[in-house]
Structure 1
Amino acid sequence: MPNLPKKVRSKKLSSRVDLTAMVSVSFLLIIFFMVVGELSKGKAMALSLPEKYENGWHHWGCGSGSNERTITVLLDENNKIITYTGFLFNPRKAPKEINYGQNGIRKELFNQKKAILEYSTALGKPKNGPIVIIKPSKKSNFKNLVDILDEMAIINIETYAIVNEFTTEESQLLASK
Structure 2
Amino acid sequence: MAEIQESGDKKGKGSKQKKMSIRVDFTPMVDMNMLLITFFMLCTSLSKPQTMEISMPSNDKNITEEQQNKVKASQALTLLLDADNKLYYYEGEPDYDNYASLKETTYEADGLRKILLRKNADAVKKVRELKEKKARLEITEEECKKQIAEVKSGKNTPTVIIKPTDRSTYKNLVDALDEMQICSIGKYVIVDVAEGDQVLLDHYHQGSDAAHV
* TM-score (normalizing by structure 2): 0.49
Local SS of the residue matching 2:110: coil
- Contact kept in structure 1, 2:57 and 2:190, CA below 8 Å: no
Local SS of the residue matching 2:36: helix
Q: Percent identity?
A: 30
Q: What's the offset of the Cα at 1:67?
A: 4.6
**Structure-2 residue corresponding to 1:74:** 80
**Structure-1 residue corresponding to 2:102:** 96
**Structure-2 residue corresponding to 1:54:** 64
**Structure-2 residue corresponding to 1:173:** 200
**Structure-2 residue corresponding to 1:110:** 117
Q: What's the offset of the Cα at 1:148?
A: 2.5
1:145 aligns with 2:155: no
The number of residues matched between the two structures is: 143
Counterparts in 2 of 1:105 and 1:176: CA distance versus 1, 3 Å: same
Instruction: Find the aligned partners of 2:50 and 2:115 in 1 and give their Cα distance.
Output: 33
Local SS of the residue matching 2:102: strand
Pairing partner for 2:186 from 131, 143, 158: 158
Instruction: Find the aligned partners of 2:67 and 2:110 in 1 and give their Cα distance.
Output: 29
Runs of 4+ in 1 over 6 A off after TM superposition: none
C-alpha RMSD of matched pairs (Å): 4.0
Local SS of the residue matching 2:173: helix
Q: What's the offset of the Cα at 1:137?
A: 0.7
- Contact kept in structure 2, 1:79 and 1:99, CA below 8 Å: no
Say which structure is richer in helix: 2
- Contact kept in structure 2, 1:99 and 1:105, CA below 8 Å: yes
Structure 1, gaps ≥5 residues long:
1-18, 118-124
Q: What's the offset of the Cα at 1:173?
A: 1.3
* TM-score (normalizing by structure 1): 0.57
Partner deviation per Cα, 1:99-151 (whole Å, 9 max, x = no partner): 2134332222222223888xxxxxxx965222222211111233433432343
Structure 2, gaps ≥5 residues long:
1-26, 125-149, 205-213
Counterparts in 2 of 1:36 and 1:45: CA distance versus 1, 3 Å: farther
Q: How does 1:122-133 map to 2 (within 5 A)?
A: 127=152, 128=154, 129-133=157-161
Instruction: Find the aligned partners of 1:69 and 1:116 in 2 and give their Cα distance.
Output: 13
Counterparts in 2 of 1:167 and 1:150: CA distance versus 1, 3 Å: same
**Structure-2 residue corresponding to 1:24:** 32
